Structure formats: C-alpha cells, structure tokens
Amino acid sequence: MPVVDAWINLNPKEIATEGWNQQARSSLLRQFHETADVMRQGMSVDELLASMDEAGIDVGVLTTQPFVSNFDELMGACEEIAAACELHPDRFVGSGRIDILLGHGRLKLATDAMRRMVDDFHFKAIRMVPQVIELPPDHRDYYPAYTTAVELGVPVTINVGMPGPLRPATVQQPILLDRVCLDFPELVIVATHMGHPWHEELLSLMIRHQNLYLMTSAWAPRYYPPAVVTFMGASRSRGRVMFATDYPVLSMQRCADELPLLDLAPDVREEFLWKTANSVFGLGLERGPT
C-alpha cells in the first residue's frame, strides 16, 4: 500500500539557516523542539528521500519554504521544487504558496504565480496561510485566486486552527471557510493543520460541504482529536481526511510509528494514507502490494 505525505516543506540547506534564524517564530521552534535542528539546518533532497524511505512514505507533496517574502523568491523556491519533482517524479509532486502575494494590490501577481505553478511547474495544489497576511480566507482579496484555481482545475489548501507561530488566530477559524465553499462549490478546498481548537466546527463544515477536506499536517497521530478519528470511519464522511506531517515541523518517522495508535479499519487506513490524497491531488497512484 502506498503512503502519501500531503505536506512536506522543501527546506534546502543553503538558505535554511538564514531563513529560520531571521524569520521563524521562536514559539514554533519551541513547540516542535524535536525537529528544531532540522528546521534550522535544512536538508538536501537526498536526505529528504532517506527520511521518507525510513518512515515508509512513498510520495511527498512538496511545498515552498515558509520564509519567502516576494514574487522572485517564490518563483525561485518553485523552481527548486520543480527540479526535485523532475529528478524524482515517482516520489514528489509540487505545490506552491501564494499568500504572500494576496492583498495590497498584488492580486495579479498572485494569479500569475498560480498559472506558472500549474502550467510551467506542473504543481498539484495551491497553498494559502491566512495568518501570514492577517486576512481571513473569506476576504474578497482571495476571490480572484479561488476563481483561478477553479479555472486551472487544482485544489487549494488553507491553514485553519490555532497558528504555531505567534500570529493572529481569528483569521484561521474554520467557519470562515463556509462562505468560500458556498461561493465556490466547484473549488476543492483542503483545510490543513486539523483546525484545533475548532476542529469540531471544521468537521461540521465538511459534512455540510462535500468539496471540503482535511489534512492532519503538524499533528502527531498520538494527539489527533478523537472526533477526527471517528469522522474518518463514519459512513457519511469517508475519504475526506488525508495524512500529512508538515515535515520538518514533525518527524515523518515519529508520525509513522504512531499511526497504529489510531486503530483504523483497513479500508479507512487506505483512504487516510493514500487514496484521499491520490484523488484530491490527481496523483495517479495505483495500489501496490501490501
């Protein structure tokens, strides 16, 4: 059975030290102290593949570094991801963040970046992190990006829940996705980072909106809220939750080691570990030997 990690941060060594020292929040490094050194020091693509192999992860959805700050830096980070995907097409697919380009008269830059990500770099998802720009996801500055995502046929992932960095939390309450789902019923949305402490609000929205999914990024399986685990196996909500680590925020090996604690039925486990991501991101995976 293949395993897909739906959020891996590509964090090259040559820029990791400077980036994390200058822009990473001390609270984030404190909360995830087990992997703080990896966050600061970065890793090569080969080292990343070795970590995936050790944890039994077959495919990773790579995303751009959290500390890019302008269009040129973002495109450079996208090129790094595209190069890794080209070298290892069976192990990586790409995604790119555009939150830094939203608002403040930069909407055209954001939609241009999206088109390059999909058309030129063949990325499978667009990521948005509301706490970075302190605008809620139902703010109208996001809407051209949502329209573009529908046109391009790619899902968007949107951070929800209490941010790890010391940034505003109110812009990441899940209920803010309600209006987005109503206004864009054709847009596939993946809520990331579990939505805690409003995770039950998020689960209710997922029952209400069939275009809304959840990934478990930045949460170790040991600490998944019981309501989310129950939701995975419920008949009306099957195939709506996907596995993700947010590596190096969390160790892939730790997450893999803790997966048995969830005690999922075999078919639910398959949906969680690869089938949902395979469908949402269009990965084209086939079930391998168990």
CB count in 10 Å sphere of residue 82: 20
pTM: 0.92
Number of domains within the chain? 1
CATH of the domain at 218: 3.20.20.140
Give domain status of residue 84, yes or no.
yes
The pLDDT of residue 98 is 93
Q: What is the mean pLDDT of residues 211-219?
A: 97
Mind listing the pLDDT tens digit for each residue in 157-210? 999 999 887 789 999 999 999 999 999 999 999 999 999 999 999 999 999 999
Give domain status of residue 285, yes or no.
no
Give domain status of residue 284, yes or no.
no
Give domain status of residue 232, yes or no.
yes
Give domain status of residue 215, yes or no.
yes
Give domain status of residue 287, yes or no.
no
Q: Which residues form the domain of 231?
A: 4-279
Dihedral sign of CA atoms 131, 45, 88, 270 in order: negative
Q: What is the mean pLDDT of residues 266-274?
A: 97
Give domain status of residue 63, yes or no.
yes
Nearest CA among 109, 179, 203 for reference residue 148: 109
Q: What is the mean pLDDT of residues 242-258?
A: 94
The C-alpha atoms of residue 190 and residue 241 are separated, in whole angstroms, by 9
